[in-house]
Amino acid sequence: MEQVQSAVLEAVAEAAKATNDFLAKHGDRDCCGFAWVTVYEKGSTKMGRALIKAGFSKAYGGGLQMWNPSGNHTQSITAKEVGAEAAAKVLTEKLGVKAYAGSRMD
């Protein structure tokens, strides 16, 4: 599904922009942590296979996840959360599925 690939590319671009904008405004501060996007879709479905091909992997708690969708190497959990939230919003809008941002401190 080219639509899925396009949506994921747009989500990653928005995540990178949101994270970079946050860092430009607030600096690299805050505690260290991780952020990701989860889509509760089975990997065996057409959309699931397309998401895996676009960079998602099987999540421990179910569904498919993409860790650090911004691709930014900051350690700031807040900056990574902002990026994950931006990516989740794009995926929800473009694919019609509910995408969730998640995070945890390191």
- pLDDT tens column, 10-24: 999 999 999 999 999
Residues with Cβ within 8 Å of residue 74, at least 6 apart in sequence: 19, 23, 28, 80
| Mean per-residue pLDDT, 76-101 | 97
Residue 1 has pLDDT above 80, yes or no: no
Q: Which residue has the tokens 């939230």?
A: 85
Spatial distance between the Cα atoms of 9 and 99, rounded to a whole number of angstroms: 15
Looking at the DSSP bridge assignments, the partners of residue 35 are 103
Q: Return the structure tokens found at 56.
A: 């998602």
% of the chain at pLDDT higher than 70: 100
- pLDDT tens column, 53-80: 999 999 998 999 999 999 999 999 999 9
The pLDDT, as a whole number, for residue 29 is 83
- pLDDT tens column, 31-53: 999 999 999 999 999 999 999 99
The pLDDT, as a whole number, for residue 38 is 98
Domain boundaries, the chain: 2-105
Statement: the pTM of the whole predicted model exceeds 0.75: yes
